[in-house]
Amino acid sequence: MQAAEFFRTYDDTSAAPWSGYANYVARENELYQAVAELYGDVQRPLKPVSIYKEELTRRIRSPQVRRYLETGVSTGESLRICADLELAIGIDPAPNVPPDLFDKPPFRLEKKPSDTFFRETFEAGTPDFALDLAFIDGLHVFEYALRDFIGVEALAAPGCEVLIHDVLPRRAAEAARHRFTRPWTGDVWRVPMVLRHFRPDLKVRLVESAPTGLAIITGLDPANSLLMERYDEVVAYGMGLKVLEFMAARDAHVAAV
C-alpha cells in the first residue's frame, strides 16, 4: 500500500480526543485515589537517566542531522533549537508560538493535524526531502502516534532516528486515552509495544528520560509497508494490551532491547 492511499484513508481527526487543557478534572487527586483503590494503580516514578529535552537537543546538534520533523509544536520550545538545520518541519493544528518565530527557512510550520500533513505530502508525489531525525509529540493517543511513526518512516533518510515522547506513564491514570489529568501521556506507550511485536527488524529502545520517557527507534526502512498493510491488525493488537500489565512490567520493558 502506498503512503498516499494510507493517509487518504486515515486523515480523519474529527473524532480526535484533543489534548486540550479543557478536560482536566478539578479534583484530580481524588480521581487518582479512586483509580488506585479500584484498580491498584500505584505511582511508579521513573529512575531518570536523562531529561527528554537533553536527548533531543544532543541529536539536533549532531552533525549528521540536517533535516528534522516534529509532530506537536506547542510553544515551539523544541523546534526553536533547530535554527541551524537545513530543514525543520513543525506540525501542529494549534501551535502556540509568536507569529514570526518560524516563518522563514529552515522552518516550515504546518498548522494542521499530522495526518493531513502526511496525506498532502504523499499525494504531492515523491517528497524532495528525507529526514535524519523526527520527534513524535503530537496527539497522545495510540493510533495517532502510530500513524505519525508510519508517516515519518516513509520519509526517513538512511540512519534516521525517531524519538517518541510520553511512552512511560508513571501511573495508569495518566495513560488514559482521553485527557482528564494534568500530566498526560495518553496511551502512546502502546506504540513501542506494537513495533517490537510487528517489526522486529527495528531497534526500539525505551529510555527513562524525565518526565515521561522516550522511545528511540532506529533501523527504519522507508520501503517497508507492513504497518500500513496490516494497520487494523496492528491497532487491534495494541488496543488489546492492558495498561496495568504494562505498568507492572515497565522495568522489564525498559530493560528489553
Ligand X SMILES: C[S@@+](CC[C@H](N)C(=O)[O-])C[C@H]1O[C@@H](n2cnc3c(N)ncnc32)[C@H](O)[C@@H]1O
Q: Rule CB under 6 A: say whether 209 interacts with ligand X.
A: no
Instruction: Give the three cell numbers for residue 61.
Output: 546538534
The residue type at 211? P
Measured between alpha carbons, how far apart are the two ends of the chain, in Å?
29
Per-residue string for binding with ligand X, 84-123, x by CB under 6 A? Answer: -------xxxx------------------xx---------
Q: Rule CB under 6 A: say whether 83 interacts with ligand X.
A: no
Q: How far is CA 166 from CA 67, 138, 190, in A?
A: 23, 10, 11
Q: Rule CB under 6 A: say whether 137 interacts with ligand X.
A: yes
Q: Rule CB under 6 A: say whether 74 interacts with ligand X.
A: yes
Which residue from 138, 151, 213, 238 is in contact with ligand X, where contact means CB under 6 A?
138
Instruction: Give the three cell numbers for residue 163.
Output: 524519538
Which among 241, 243, 168, 149 is positioned nearest to 207, based on CA atoms? Answer: 168
Provide the minimum distance between the beta carbon of 35 and ligand X in the complex, in angstroms, as a whole number: 22
Burial code (b: 16+ CB inside 10 Å, e: under 16) for 192-221 equals bbbbbebbeebebebbbbbebbbbbbeebe
**Helices and strands counted in the chain (H then E):** 10, 9
Q: Which is nearer to ligand X, 64 or 75 (CB)?
A: 75
Q: Which is nearer to ligand X, 42 or 94 (CB)?
A: 94
Q: Rule CB under 6 A: say whether 72 interacts with ligand X.
A: yes
Per-residue string for binding with ligand X, 7-46, x by CB under 6 A? Answer: ------x-----x---------------------------
Provide the minimum distance between the beta carbon of 146 and ligand X in the complex, in angstroms, as a whole number: 12
What is the secondary structure of 137-194 as a DSSP string?
-S--SHHHHHHHHHHHHHTEEEEEEEEEE--S-SSGGGG-SS--SSS--TTTTHHHHH
Which residue from 3, 11, 69, 78 is in contact with ligand X, where contact means CB under 6 A?
78
Cα 30 from Cα 39, distance rounded (Å): 14
Q: Rule CB under 6 A: say whether 212 interacts with ligand X.
A: no
Q: Rule CB under 6 A: say whether 71 interacts with ligand X.
A: yes
Provide the minimum distance between the beta carbon of 249 and ligand X in the complex, in angstroms, as a whole number: 26
Residue ranges in contact with ligand X by CB under 6 A: 13, 19, 70-75, 77-78, 91-94, 113-114, 137-139, 144
